[in-house]
Amino acid sequence: LGNTMFVANDVALNQSQPWFVPASAINALRREAIEQLEQARLAGWVRPQRKAAVEPPVEYPEKTLSYLANVYNQLAWQFYRKHGVEVIDAAYEAHQEEGEVSLMITKHCLRFSYNLCPKQAKGVKGVMGQVRAEPMTLKSGNETYTLKFDNVRNKAAIMADIERLETWVKYKNGLCSDCMGSCCSMPVEVRLPDLVRMGVVDEFELEEPVKNIAKRLEKQRVIQHFNFKHGIFTLARRANGDCQYLDQQTRLCTIYERRPNTCRNHPKIGPKPGFCAYTRNPKAARPVQPVKLSG
């Protein structure tokens, strides 16, 4: 039944004479039946008993924790001690660290954001060797924090800004193999055939007014917006901007074989045809998903 877990093996109609029933009424009955089935499953579900704690407790992979572990209260300290940590430094907020210490480590490069990265100036006549980004500081009240940059690790930092097309790189085969899937953080516009292929709309629903379909999908948070004039649906995204069908761990599409045409045609068709917002994945190389350009 649609994209639910239920399947209708047989449908029997007991009627004294033929009746005309609008497709919208049949779809409403189907949705009502699915809702009742789901409620029945929930009512009959028995919560399993909580498993007993593992004894002895699983060993924590590290025996020593610095202030960066942010252990600031007694419960956190007891947790790590229980799991075998022998040396536990207090969090930075405890003010037990002396001298200059690292307060925050991030892969977001401020030099890149402010166009002060020496690598950006590489090859630009009259600029290379003149870009100076240090020292950079952050100020918060009376506190001043000095920023330091690790040029080796910066190779894994953001290589392109989705909002700035001038930072996009020209697409070439194999580029997706070590990318963070940054194109999956862009708005995705789809049409009804895409939604059918994705499994969120049934073919027999196409007889319904498209506004009714859009209303249901918006209620289910499948789409974020519907443009009635052009018949375009915009898929909903997560709070961090990622597509809801993007696996957060592997950064791979979970519906790759059923993905919409917008994704299939990217980057040949897009904000900057032939270019993409390539972002290098700092982790090990992942399986390559072939990108076939239409045409």
Nearest to 191 by CA among 287, 250, 263, 103: 263
Token reading at 192? 């009804």
Q: What percent of the chain has pLDDT over 90?
A: 28
Helix (H, G, I), strand (E, B) or coil at 197: helix
On whether the CB atoms of residues 1 and 30 are closer than 8 A, the answer is yes
Nearest to 28 by CA among 256, 167, 173, 213: 213
Helix (H, G, I), strand (E, B) or coil at 260: coil
Can you state the percent helix, strand and coil of the chain, rounding each to 5? 30, 10, 60
The larger pLDDT score, comparing residue 159 to residue 85, is at 85
- pTM of the complete model: 0.48
98-112, 214-228, 245-259: least confident range: 98-112
pLDDT at 153: 45
On whether the CB atoms of residues 260 and 194 are closer than 8 A, the answer is yes
Nearest to 235 by CA among 258, 205, 251: 258
Token reading at 149? 């940059």
What's at 175, amino acid-wise?
L
Q: How confident is the model at residue 120 (pLDDT cuts 50, 70, 90)?
A: low
87-91, 119-123, 192-196, 282-286: least confident range: 282-286
> Cα(29)–Cα(96) distance, rounded to whole angstroms?
65
Predicted confidence (pLDDT) at residue 24 exceeds the cutoff of 80: yes
In this predicted model, what pLDDT tens digit does every residue of 7-16 receive, in sequence order? Answer: 888 888 888 8
Token reading at 243? 């597509």
Q: How confident is the model at residue 265 (pLDDT cuts 50, 70, 90)?
A: very high
On whether the CB atoms of residues 274 and 268 are closer than 8 A, the answer is yes
Q: In the block, which residue shows the tokens 């399986």?
A: 287
Q: Which helix (H) or strand (E) holds 234?
A: strand 232-235
Token reading at 95? 């003010």
> Cα(94)–Cα(97) distance, rounded to whole angstroms?
8
